[in-house]
Amino acid sequence: MNTKIKKYCELCGSTFLLQNHHIFFSSLRKKSDKYDECQITLCWNCHLSEKGVHQNKELSLKVKRMAQNRMEEIYGREWFLKEFYKNYLDF
């Protein structure tokens, strides 16, 4: 994989303390490291604050949906479900 920090937070557009976030973790983390689509550039507020993805389930789901959408555009849904087991767009 290739960690590319973008110039803006991909959720809010801020440039404040930008960091790379791995969208999928635990058992999916290793697999997802292969795909740029599984990483997202986030500012500190969207990443590590109490409102950020690590604390906020809704936001965490939102970025998973973004990743799924991006990957489905490239690889298709069947591939995504095989690789990631779950359809995050359905709940």
Task: Work out which of 18, 21, 32, 68 binds Zn ion, going by CB under 5 A.
Answer: 21
* Residue 43 in the binding site for Zn ion (CB under 5 A): yes
Name the residue among 23, 34, 35 with its Cα closest to residue 66: 23
Q: How far apart are CA 17 and CA 70, in angstroms?
A: 24
* Region for residue 26 given its phi and psi (left: phi exceeds 0; alpha: psi -120 to 50; beta: otherwise): left
Task: Work out which of 18, 23, 38, 46 binds Zn ion, going by CB under 5 A.
Answer: 46
Task: Work out which of 11, 23, 40, 63 binds Zn ion, going by CB under 5 A.
Answer: 11
Per-residue contact flags (x/-) with Zn ion for residues 48 to 77, judged by CB under 5 A: ------------------------------
